[in-house]
Amino acid sequence: MIGLLLHLLKFLPVPIDPRSQWKKVAALKQKERADRLIEILNDPNELSSNLNAFELTILSTPAHEIVSRIGARDLNWNAKNVMKAFIKAAIHAHVETNCLTEILFKEALERAEQLDKEFEATGRLRGRLHGIPVSLKDQVNVKGFDSTIGFTKFVNQPAAENAPVVDRLIEEGAIPFTKTNVPQSLFAFECSNPIFGYTHNPHKHGFTCGGSSGGEAALLASDGSCMGIGSDIGGSLRIPAHYSGCYSLKPCSGRIVQDGLRDCDDGYTEILGVIGPMARCWEDLVLLSKVMLHKPDPMTSRKFGLIPIEDFRYEIFNPLVAEDTRPSLKFGFFTSNDLIEASNPCQRAVKETVEALRLAGYNCVGIDASRLDVLEGVIIYVGLSSAEGYRTGFSHVGSDPIDASMFLTTIGCKLPGWLRWIVCGVTRYFLRDEIMAKLIEASRAKSTTELQKWRVRKDAYCLKVRSYLWEELELDALICPTQSVPAIPIGSSWNKSFLAESTLIWNLVDSTVGHIPITRVNVQKDQHRTDTDATTGGLRQPGEVSQVKNLLPSVEESEGLPVGIQIVCGLWEEEKTLALMGIIVKSWESVPNQTAPLTRPGDFIAQKKRVHVTNCN
């Protein structure tokens, strides 16, 4: 019954202004994107239609090696040739996944040529990212280009200046060359909006790449970018990395300048979003993190209120990666929390990682995941994120259609009080689904007095989780599933928002979290299960809405999709998190008859053997 109710509510009429121009605006924006792609393809002096062998080599080379080869003046290794290779690969990725929004190819080639001339004249590289193509999540401002974040309201509103993170990248020699797709409002883990449409998973068409940094993950996983910048307020760096297969780091709030991003909820401070790096391998994630985690100048610190941390803290990072830390490090882990039982592939990713660490001599202990009280964390997150009823976010919609992925997240706020009371009663007493009833109750606008009580509740929860993990258990890091399932089919997240529970609690607690791609869904390994469906898992309590296993694809349909893990550390422990990620990667590499974690630069494009650039739009 509740499933039917939710299905019908999904199709409640949305007021549409008959004078709406959203389709026309979206079409013009798409044409602008297509024209910029065609312009670069039609210039025979810049790009041929094929990726040649040398360009495939470039795509298979990590960023730090690219910089070294440019600096060594290796034959044909220069910024412009590197940029050409990644532009071609990005167009490949876009044709297959629809991952690009703003096209900066022409400007990027000009910038690459300037860097080559500068290096030829001075013999000095601009910085640690000299000549490296970097892609940016659509919300990151680049001077002269839109940051629409999926709303037609923001079309033809080019940024007046770069975001500080963009200037920082340019200062180190990087070249921003494209921006990537996001879900409408940035508050969903699919990747679709009325302007640019759906972005597909590069490994399986028809499945989502994740969100909200979804276009970024799809591009990186397709070898279409060397490294990228995303953001995260509930899992937006980690879920796309998990679905698409790449690396990411969610830093703590305040460690990186957050200014210069287009947001739809300006003024919201209850849970802070963060900018974070994304990459195709651990080494590149570390390199990009070293650039981003830098000491801001005094005026920037005073202006943006950053915490007083120095540059990248090598005194923390170096000993962990260079010395034998096996006697001193302690990893905790769990394969499922107390709210949702993870699917077989997601549990296997954790188990195999723990086995690799133990084989390498590291101490790994299982923890009592019920002590994390994930349901309480999710309720608090929902209660705080809905505190003003999503009015600010929806104020940007105008006559744009609201993306279906926003349905379950916002339904509580949309319901009149009397109807919410009825729905909660039916859900709790007739369907005996206490979990969904509590989430619907929490999702509503609140008074200032109520909000203050929710803040107290949040503080108590954060203290409880931190005390358990870091004080009582004395862990250095926690290894756990990134999500309970692999990527889901496009258009299917409208009634599955609760799947983000495994990532959003760490935003609530403000932990540093890394993501590593570990494995892929494998029918032979993942199909045998005695308690529930092999791929989907299910919630711990009964109830029609709560039966995840009835809402998701089978293991056969998910075959080959990436699966990753989270590495959770404490507050402001970015350097430590990166180092421990490296220990996990190296432990995997030492396992007999095993491959290193999921991906290395060039793996995707070599496997797909896509060497023609055609049919872009």
Number of Cβ within a 10 Å radius of residue 389: 16
Inter-residue contact 109 to 82 (CB < 8 Å):
no
Give the Cα separation of 337 and 587 in Å (integer): 25
Quote the strand ranges of 59-195, DSSP E: 100-103, 133-137, 175-180
What's the per-residue H, E or C state across 125-136? Answer: CCCCCCCCEEEE
Q: Which residues are annotated as a binding site for substrate?
A: 186, 212, 233-236
Write down the number of H helices and E strands in the chain.
23, 15
* CA nearest to 568, candidates 526, 509, 616: 509
Number of Cβ within a 10 Å radius of residue 60: 17
Inter-residue contact 487 to 561 (CB < 8 Å):
yes
**For the chain, what is the radius of gyration of the CA atoms?**
23
Distances (CA, A) of 69 to 131, 228, 240: 11, 21, 31
Q: Which residues are annotated as a binding site?
A: 186, 212, 233-236
Catalytic center residues: 137, 212, 236
- Angle formed at CA 603 by CA 489 and CA 128, multiple of 5 degrees: 110
Three-state DSSP class for residue 103: strand
Give the Cα separation of 201 and 355 in Å (integer): 29
**Burial class of residue 181 (count of CB atoms within 10 Å of its CB; 0-12, 13-18, 19+):** buried
